[in-house]
Every structure is written in C-alpha cells, then in structure tokens.
C-alpha cells in the first residue's frame, strides 16, 4: 500500500471519528453554528496571556503569507490551545464575508462548531485537512481548512495554526505548509526561551537540511541533561526525550560535543547506529571551559601519521583486499567519468555513503558539489519542492526568493540519491523526466533549466521486488541502475583484519591508539557485526577511549560487543586464541579463488606483489591462479 493510500485511509478514519464525537455532543448536520465570542476585556487578557506565541507566529507567518497568499483568497489563523482565534492574516474579501467566525476571540471548538480544521486538530493533536463536505455542520461547508497543532517548550499544546479558503486547497502543499509553519513557531519558541543559558543542538539526517524548518532541536545543559526538544528530534531518534542525557542519544560524550567550535558542522552517530549531521549553538552566557583540543579535530585530522595528508578517501583507499570490494572499486573507476548511473546496494552500515564520497573525489567532478538527498528523510509533502526547486510565490509556503532545488545544486557535480527506494511514486515520475531530458522544471515555472550531474543512488532494499510490488517505477529502475554495485556485509568480507587495522589507524589520536592485542583482533574478526562498519567504528572509538593509550584488549570492549557473539565469549578470560590462530587469519575467512585473485590483480594495476600482499598469499600462488585464468 502506498503512503498516499495510507494517508487517505487514516484521513477517512479521522473524519468518521470526529463526526461520531459531534453526534455525541448533540449536534446535527443542520445545527446552527453557536459561535462564541470573547468580550473585549477577555480578548485583551487572552492576547496578553499568549503574547509570546502571537509575536513568534507573526514573525514566522508573515514572511510566507505576504508574498504567497495575498492573491489566493485564503487566510491564516492562529488559535490558542482552547480554540479561540488570536489573530488572522488574509485576503480581505474572504475575511469580510465571514467576519463573524474569523475575527479574534471567536471559538472553534469541535463540540460547538462540529468537525473543523482548528477544533479537530486540537482534539486529535495531529495535522488535519477538512474539505468542504467533510465539515459536520452544513453551514461550514463553504470552506476548506488545513491546521497543525503547535507545541511549546514543555511539549504541551499551546495553539493551532490554520489556513482556510473557500476554494480548493491541495493537500500536498497546504498540509506541508501548515506543518512548516507550526514547526517554525515551535523551533523559535524553544530557541527564544533557552538560547541564553543552554546548549542547542540542531541536527538532521542530511547536512544540506540542517538549517531547514524541519530540523531536529535538542536543548541541554552543561551536564548533558536534555531540557527541551522538538517533535522532529523525537521522531529522528525514536526516543522519548524527557529526562534523558545526551550521552544516551549519541555515540559521543557531552564534553566532546560541547567542546566543538561554535556552529561547526559535526557528524553524529545515534545509539540506533544512524548517522545524522548537527550544528551546536552555545549559550550566550556560557561558563568558561578548558578545551581538549583533540576533540576539536575533524576525523581526517585524527588519523595516524600516514593518513594525515589525505583530505578525502579515494576509491583506491577502499580496496583493502576483499575480492568483492576490489571488483566494485575496479568497475567504479572505469565508469566514474562516464554518463552511466550507479546504483549501490547493501545492508545498513556497510559504508554506502563513504563509497559514494570516494567515487566523487576520484572523479573529474571532484572540485564541484556532491549533493546528498536522503529520500526517506524529507517530508513527503516537500520532496518535489526540495528536489526540483520552485519559483517565488509558486505555492503556499514557498520562499519569497524562490529555491533552486537540490538537483540544480548538483549541476556539474554528483547527485547522490540515498534511500531512493523510499521516494514517493509521484516524485519518481518527475525524476524520470529529469533523467530523460537532463532539464529541471521548477514548481510554478514555465522555464526549464539544463543540468549535468553524475547520478549515484543507494538503497538497502531490493528495488526489483519493489518494482514487482508496484512501489517503484520500472522505467526509473532502469534509469538509475546502469552499474549495480553490491557492497558486502562486514561479516562476509575477507579483508576484515586489514579493514580493522585501517580504521584503528584512521581514528587513532596517538600511535599507541592504533595498537591491538592478538586476542582482541581475533575477537573482532570472529564478530558477526550486525551493524556492519558503522558498528565497528563505534566499537573502535569506544575501545580507544577506554584503553588509555595502551593496546586495545578485550576488557576495553563494550559489553554488548560480547552479546553479539552468540554465547561464544562470556568474559575476557574465556577468550584466548590457540597458537594456530594467533599468527594467521581466523579460520572462517575464506581463501581467495581464481576469480577473486584476478579481480584484485586488475584493481591493483596488475601488480603481482601488491596482489599477494593484499590477499595474504604467496607470489607463486598468484602466478599459478593467473595462469589458470588464462593470463600469460
């Protein structure tokens, strides 16, 4: 079932439940609206009580409204948590025709005026759109309304923002707009209330979207205690953020986080092993702190000596001897500068984004932008406008300056569509046209713009199955899957030991941090790594922190590391490799066959010595297998 179909099912259930509540309140379809109005004195008190909400909304709404809705016969209303209108902005003809019900002080409670956007949003605590005939009272069926609740700094509902019109309002734009408006108000309420004395972390799943209105916000004190957060933060982290510590949310300590430079973009790994990108804003009245300068270094600056001069990984850096990876690198190098799209598939955490970045930096486009689009992270209502851009005034909620769109931002560079299997079908159709014509037509524009980019997509799903299920277009599948690359799970890689040592060197702050005992390395190689490389990196960083500049041993590994070993190891003393294991790869690491050796040989520019070294076999074995494969 598509997301759109699911939305309609949930919407019908919402209307049905609301109508049932109206009947239980004694209303009939032909009941006369019993509109309640606050007296002038009560209204004055109401406006004073909600002064902060009103001022914040005024500054968030008007920039959108003045340029976009002035000619749309619509109006925006702000109501408090009890359903009383505080202020409205809108087209005067529409407002004057319905002055009695849209003026400040008017109550829009569901038990009084039946099913309506403001009252039903308050009752359900969710974003709603009520079309003409969906209003319970016939008297209200002249209009359509879209409304979203607004939550305050303590996560209690403080109001509702509504867009109403006597004409049709498309769900995709109007619902998306009220969501943006409510989120913008919530964010500003949080920022205004806490920014002088607390730390504010703004983060999102894509670095391009950190400053967007749907970014996640967390406010915390110097001990890491979460003081407040917006709904987006709880959604991204899938966690109730009341009375938790920042240490429980991310694979980083409070000290490391708050010692980041002001507004410095930093990648973060959540406890669910998802990567997000964040920016920390420090309190205006922060207490002075002694900085540990090592925590201010970017990952590439934290590498061991032989990595210190590299600015970014290249494809060759990812070839550590595994035949599957060697083949992926060799194939990618052949087509990296050709107009052939690449589709990368693999389990979560195998390093798809790292591979794409290496591909970009290995290409002739490396000095241009690489734009990452997480198709699963952008709200469905906003995917089209984010991807293709829009002209100023194109729709309700668009910027008064217009927006170029992520696809045009990738012009002359690389466009990376992450989680492409989660792209809505209607957006798939527009993307297909862009890929066919290599031109983008922004929303609300009669002009199209040429684009030139290297297309790389990634997914952890089987898109062929999605094509058969009808959730992914077959014609788009063949447009994005020019070269299919399957990145192996860590447990299947034959170069695990080389990869582990590579990452130890990469994250080492001192030469001692890269050291590891034989039994610890053996346990790393035996581990199933359900979280793949992302989990491995987390364990390495924890172990290096715990080892205190000594060689990493079993006692430095986190407890859940041993839990994943399925009972093979229950304590440190139990794990001691036999003498036959200490000087060799673990038995489960398979020996390369002829095809494997040929793939590595070709990827290393036909260098016999490097091939033997990478695969851990003798030069004679390499010669023998190459002859068997037809090489002279």
Of 402, 390, 463, 470, the closest CA to residue 430 belongs to 390
DSSP symbols for 23-47:
HHTT--TTPPP---B--HHHHHHHH
336-486 folds as Rossmann fold (3.40.50)
pLDDT of residue 67: 56
Of 186-195, 386-395, 413-422, highest mean pLDDT: 413-422
pLDDT of residue 127: 93
pLDDT of residue 184: 87
Confidence of residue 589 (pLDDT cuts 50, 70, 90): very low
Among the residue ranges 10-24, 25-39, 114-128, 253-267, the one predicted with the least confidence is: 253-267
Beta strands in 253-410 (DSSP E): 265-269, 275-281, 342-345, 370-374
Of 203, 242, 241, 194, the closest CA to residue 222 belongs to 194
> Are β-strands 144-151 and 342-345 bridged in parallel, bridged antiparallel, or unpaired?
unpaired
pLDDT of residue 617: 66
In tens, the pLDDT along 472-503 reads 999 999 999 999 999 999 999 988 888 998 89
CA–CA dist 571, 559 (Å, integer): 9
Q: Specify whether the backbone of 470 is left (phi greater than 0), alpha (psi in -120 to 50) or beta.
A: left
Q: Are 558 and 542 in contact (CB under 8 A)?
A: yes
CA–CA dist 468, 491 (Å, integer): 30
pLDDT of residue 294: 28
CA–CA dist 324, 600 (Å, integer): 9
Confidence of residue 313 (pLDDT cuts 50, 70, 90): confident
Among the residue ranges 104-108, 243-247, 417-421, 623-627, the one predicted with the least confidence is: 623-627
Residue 463: is its pLDDT beyond 50?
yes
- Residue 372 in 3-state DSSP? strand
In tens, the pLDDT along 237-273 reads 988 887 788 988 998 888 888 887 777 788 899 988 8
Domain 195-296 has CATH 3.40.630: no
167 burial (CB, 10 Å; 0-12 / 13-18 / 19+) is: exposed
pLDDT of residue 485: 95
Beta strands in 226-378 (DSSP E): 226-229, 265-269, 275-281, 342-345, 370-374
Sign of CA dihedral 520, 525, 529, 533: positive
Q: Are 119 and 149 in contact (CB under 8 A)?
A: no
pLDDT of residue 300: 37
Mean pLDDT calculated for residue range 335-358 = 94
Q: Is the model more confident about 459 or about 377?
A: 459
Residue 504: is its pLDDT beyond 70?
yes
pLDDT of residue 307: 37
Residues facing residue 275 across a β-bridge: 269
Q: Which two tokens stand for residue 248?
A: 């429980």
Residue-range domain boundaries for the chain: 3-192, 195-296, 336-486, 490-582
pLDDT of residue 576: 40
Confidence of residue 15 (pLDDT cuts 50, 70, 90): very high
pLDDT of residue 616: 60
Of 509, 392, 368, the closest CA to residue 443 belongs to 392
399 burial (CB, 10 Å; 0-12 / 13-18 / 19+) is: middle
Mean pLDDT calculated for residue range 406-434 = 92
Mean pLDDT calculated for residue range 17-34 = 94
Among the residue ranges 241-250, 278-287, 314-323, the one predicted with the least confidence is: 278-287
Mean pLDDT calculated for residue range 71-83 = 85
Count of helix runs (H) and strand runs (E) in the chain:
25, 17
Among the residue ranges 263-272, 281-290, 616-625, the one predicted with the least confidence is: 281-290
pLDDT of residue 293: 25
Given this chain, do its domains 195-296 and 490-582 carry the same CATH topology? no
What pTM did the predictor assign?
A: 0.51
Q: Specify whether the backbone of 597 is left (phi greater than 0), alpha (psi in -120 to 50) or beta.
A: alpha
Q: Which two tokens stand for residue 34?
A: 């019993």
CATH homologous superfamily of 3-192 equals GAF domain (3.30.450.40)
544: Cα separation from own chain's centroid = 28
CA–CA dist 485, 96 (Å, integer): 62
Mean pLDDT calculated for residue range 195-217 = 84
Q: Is the model more confident about 618 or about 67?
A: 618
CA–CA dist 147, 177 (Å, integer): 9
Mean pLDDT calculated for residue range 227-234 = 90
pLDDT of residue 239: 87
> Are β-strands 454-459 and 342-345 bridged in parallel, bridged antiparallel, or unpaired?
parallel
CA–CA dist 172, 4 (Å, integer): 10
**How many degrees, rounded to 5, is the angle at CA 153 between CA 148 and CA 154?**
100
Q: Are 49 and 67 in contact (CB under 8 A)?
A: no
Among the residue ranges 376-385, 475-484, 502-511, the one predicted with the least confidence is: 376-385
> Alpha helices of 34-164 — where are they, by DSSP H?
40-49, 51-68, 92-97, 99-102, 110-113, 117-124
- Residue 203 in 3-state DSSP? strand
Beta strands in 270-359 (DSSP E): 275-281, 342-345
pLDDT of residue 395: 53
> Are β-strands 265-269 and 275-281 bridged in parallel, bridged antiparallel, or unpaired?
antiparallel
Instruction: Give the total residue count for the chain.
Output: 632
Confidence of residue 603 (pLDDT cuts 50, 70, 90): low
Q: Which two tokens stand for residue 158?
A: 């403080």
Confidence of residue 21 (pLDDT cuts 50, 70, 90): very high
388 burial (CB, 10 Å; 0-12 / 13-18 / 19+) is: buried
Which run of H or E residues covers position 255? helix 254-258
CA–CA dist 548, 529 (Å, integer): 24
Mean pLDDT calculated for residue range 350-355 = 94
Mean pLDDT calculated for residue range 431-444 = 90
CA–CA dist 186, 119 (Å, integer): 19
Question: What HEC string does 494-529 produce?
Answer: CCHHHHHHHHHHHHCCCHHHHCECHHHHHHHHHCCC
Residue 579: is its pLDDT beyond 70?
no
Instruction: Report the top-level CATH class of 490-582.
Output: mainly alpha
Residue 287: is its pLDDT beyond 90?
no
Q: Is the model more confident about 156 or about 312?
A: 156
Which run of H or E residues covers position 231? helix 231-237
Confidence of residue 507 (pLDDT cuts 50, 70, 90): confident
Which run of H or E residues covers position 544? helix 532-547
Q: Is the model more confident about 260 or about 50?
A: 50
pLDDT of residue 70: 59
In tens, the pLDDT along 389-408 reads 888 755 555 455 778 889 99
pLDDT of residue 196: 75
Confidence of residue 618 (pLDDT cuts 50, 70, 90): low
Percent of the chain past pLDDT 90, that is, above it, reads 40
Q: Is the model more confident about 608 or about 456?
A: 456
pLDDT of residue 394: 53
pLDDT of residue 297: 30
Percent of the chain past pLDDT 70, that is, above it, reads 82
Q: Which two tokens stand for residue 407?
A: 């696809």
Residue reference for tokens 């309609």: 8
Among the residue ranges 77-86, 301-310, 471-480, the one predicted with the least confidence is: 301-310
Mean pLDDT calculated for residue range 544-564 = 85
Residues facing residue 495 across a β-bridge: none
DSSP symbols for 428-492:
HHHHHHHHHH-EE--BT-S--EE---EEEEEESS-HHHHHHHTSS-HHHHHHH-SEEEEPPPGGG
Mean pLDDT calculated for residue range 300-326 = 65
Residue reference for tokens 């000095």: 367
DSSP 54: H
CA–CA dist 615, 603 (Å, integer): 12
Among the residue ranges 286-295, 424-433, 607-616, the one predicted with the least confidence is: 286-295
pLDDT of residue 66: 59
pLDDT of residue 106: 94
Please give the mean pLDDT across all residues of the chain. 82
Confidence of residue 4 (pLDDT cuts 50, 70, 90): low
């Amino acid at each position: 079932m598509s997301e759109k179909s699911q939305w309609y099912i949930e919407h019908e259930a919402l209307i049905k439940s609301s109508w049932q509540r109206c009947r239980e309140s004694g209303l009939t379809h032909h009941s006369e609206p019993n509109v309640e109005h606050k007296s002038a004195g009560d209204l004055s008190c109401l406006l004073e009580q909600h002064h902060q909400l009103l001022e914040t909304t005024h500054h968030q709404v008007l920039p959108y409204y003045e340029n976009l809705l002035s000619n749309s016969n619509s109006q925006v209303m702000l109501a408090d948590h009890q359903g009383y209108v505080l202020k409205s902005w809108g087209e005067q003809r529409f407002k004057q025709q319905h002055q009695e019900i849209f003026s400040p002080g008017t109550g829009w409670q569901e038990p009084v005026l039946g099913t309506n956007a403001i009252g039903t949003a308050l009752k359900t605590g969710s974003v709603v759109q009520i079309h003409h005939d969906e209003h319970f009272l016939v008297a209200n069926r002249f209009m359509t309304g879209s409304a979203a609740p607004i939550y305050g700094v303590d996560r209690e509902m403080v109001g509702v923002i509504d867009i109403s019109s006597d004409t049709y309002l498309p769900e995709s734009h109007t619902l998306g707009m009220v969501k943006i408006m409510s989120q913008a108000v919530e964010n500003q309420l949080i920022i205004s209330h806490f920014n002088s004395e607390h730390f504010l972390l703004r983060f999102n799943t894509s670095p391009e979207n950190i400053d967007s209105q749907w970014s996640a916000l967390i406010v915390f004190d110097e001990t890491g205690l979460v003081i407040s957060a917006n709904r987006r933060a709880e959604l991204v982290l899938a966690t109730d953020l009341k009375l938790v510590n920042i240490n429980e949310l991310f694979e980083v300590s409070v000290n490391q986080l708050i010692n980041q430079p002001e507004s410095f973009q930093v990648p973060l790994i959540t406890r669910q092993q998802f990567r997000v990108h964040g920016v920390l804003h420090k309190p205006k009245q922060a207490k002075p702190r002694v900085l540990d300068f090592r925590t201010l270094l970017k990952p590439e600056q934290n590498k061991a000596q032989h990595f210190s001069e590299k600015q970014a990984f290249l494809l060759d850096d990812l070839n550590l001897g595994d035949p599957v990876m060697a083949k992926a690198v060799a194939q990618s190098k052949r087509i990296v500068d050709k107009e052939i799209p690449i589709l990368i598939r693999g389990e979560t955490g195998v390093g798809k984004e790292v591979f794409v970045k290496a591909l970009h930096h290995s290409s002739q486009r490396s000095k241009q932008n690489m734009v990452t689009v997480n198709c699963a992270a952008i709200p469905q209502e906003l995917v089209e406008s984010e991807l293709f851009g829009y002209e100023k005034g194109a729709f309700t909620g668009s910027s008064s300056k217009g927006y170029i769109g992520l696809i045009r931002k990738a012009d002359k560079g690389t466009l990376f569509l992450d989680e492409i299997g989660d792209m809505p079908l209607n957006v798939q159709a527009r993307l297909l046209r862009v890929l066919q014509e290599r031109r983008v037509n922004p929303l609300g524009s009669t002009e199209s713009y040429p684009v030139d980019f290297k297309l790389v997509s990634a997914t952890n799903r089987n898109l062929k199955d999605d094509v058969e299920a009808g959730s992914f277009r077959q014609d788009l599948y063949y447009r994005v899957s020019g070269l299919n690359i399957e990145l192996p799970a860590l447990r299947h890689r034959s170069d695990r030991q080389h990869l582990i040592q590579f990452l130890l060197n990469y994250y080492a702050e001192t030469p001692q941090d890269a050291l590891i005992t034989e039994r610890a390395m053996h346990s790393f190689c035996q581990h199933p790594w359900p979280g793949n490389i992302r989990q491995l990196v987390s364990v390495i960083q924890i172990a290096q922190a715990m080892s205190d500049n000594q060689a990493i041993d079993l006692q430095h590994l986190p407890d859940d590391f041993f839990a994943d070993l399925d009972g093979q190891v229950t304590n440190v003393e139990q794990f001691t490799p036999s003498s036959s294991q200490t000087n060799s790869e673990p038995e489960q690491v398979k020996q390369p066959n002829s095809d494997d050796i040929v793939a590595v040989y070709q990827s290393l520019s036909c260098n016999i010595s490097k091939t033997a070294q990478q695969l851990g076999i003798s030069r004679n074995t390499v010669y023998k297998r190459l002859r068997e494969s037809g090489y002279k």
